Amino acid sequence: MLTKKKVIISIAVLVVLMTGVMLLGNQERAAEAENKQITIEAVNNKVYVMVQQVNFIEKAAEIEFKASLEPSEEGIVSSKVGGKVVQILFEEGEYIHQGEPLVKLEEKEARNNLRAAESQLSAAQASLTSAEVNLESEQGNFERLKVLFDHNGIAKVELEKAEIAVKVAKANLEALKANVLTAQVNVESLADSLAYTTISAPISGMMDEKSVSLGQNVDSGTILGKVKNISPINAVIEVAQTNLEDIKVGQKAQVTIGESNPLVYEGTLKSINGSADPSSRVFKGKIQLDNPDQTLKPGSFAKAEIVNDQKVEIATVPLAALAGNGDNCYVYVNDQGIARKRSVIIGETEENVVVIKSGVQKGESVICTNVNTLQDGDAIAVVEE
């Protein structure tokens, strides 16, 4: 009986042990499965991307400047005589040609003054003609009396009187010549005054800064507007003393205008001031740009780049790697399977490649796909094309 009980107990213990082993095995398999699931999820959470190594190329060095557009030539429209404005023949922003009438002043008084002066000139010329005839007569009389005197036909006193008459006639003639000359100068001056009642364009260009109205009484020297020649137009840059050795008159330049839709213009550095501005201590330079259709306007801001003789290495990446816009551009760099966001400063774009002025280094690879969905620190898996 005792032996039977021992057998039953042994069987029970064996069952318990087997149950425990089975439970332990199930737990280990569950843990292993869980770990495997976590591993699978970690792999699946990676972002699959394509990358390309940053490419460095050698090209001529460029120096960048801020620029503003100014007319290549400027003419002041001003009145040379006083008067009342009776006609305005231009509009603000209109293109006009040199010599074209712009403003007319009341001319009645000027015309009357000219007519009076012309009458005075005619009278002076008539008096001069009469004096010339008189001198000729007195000269002839003197010659006749001299012949008689030489033959003792008249007394010396009569010859002396004739000689004095000639001298008086000559003096009178010279005085009348001076009167005619004065009258001529007066006529010319008044003719100019009449002509000045029509105010014309000093140069060809675009009308700007209009400052005149009908009925206005203007004085001599009053500025009525400006004519600005914008074809060609100048991009004015400020050159620091440290850059003076790197740029020279005649160098080619690129001027970029606009940010959202930038336009690039080719130009030439035409001049650099010989002395620095006393307040800013910079030297002004002028880049001349062709502007045949006059789309470029004075006062616009721009960016200028001047190419010098030195060579530099510049970084380029595919345009597809670039994200952001304006001053907030960035790329993602592959850092051993982790996407690292990197702020960059960009340069010009050519086809599908963009120049990176700063932000990337040699040997680095940039991510070229899924850049708009990536986050800094994301795990990535690189795939081949």
Strand, coil or helix: 329: strand
Whether the per-residue pLDDT at 218 is higher than 80: the answer is yes
CA distance 69 to 288: 10
Q: What is the mean pLDDT of the chain?
A: 88
Q: Are 322 and 346 in contact (CB under 8 A)?
A: yes
Q: What is the pLDDT of residue 348?
A: 82
Q: What is the pLDDT of residue 181?
A: 97
Phi, psi of 196 (to 5 degrees): -70, -10
Q: What is the pLDDT of residue 349?
A: 85
- With both helix axes pointing from N to C terminus, report the angle between 108-150 and 156-195 in degrees, rounded to the nearest 10: 160
Strand, coil or helix: 281: coil
Q: What is the pLDDT of residue 16?
A: 43
CA distance 225 to 214: 14
Residues whose CB is less than 8 angstroms from the CB of residue 337 and which lie 6 or more positions away in sequence, other chains included: 46, 379, 380, 381, 382
Whether the per-residue pLDDT at 3 is higher than 50: the answer is no
239-291 pLDDT, tens digit per residue, is: 999 888 889 999 999 999 988 888 999 999 999 999 999 999 999 999 999 99
285-316 pLDDT, tens digit per residue, is: 999 999 999 999 999 999 999 987 777 788 99
Going along the chain from its start, the domains and CATH numbers come out as: 48-59+313-382 (2.40.420.20), 65-71+227-311 (2.40.30.170), 107-196 (1.10.287.470)
Q: What is the pLDDT of residue 4?
A: 45
Nearest to 81 by CA among 227, 217, 204: 217
Whether the per-residue pLDDT at 39 is higher than 90: the answer is no
Structure pTM?
0.61
Query: Facing residues of 276 across strands?
Result: none
Instruction: Quickly state the pLDDT bin for 28 (edges 50, 70, 90).
Output: low
Q: What is the pLDDT of residue 384?
A: 83
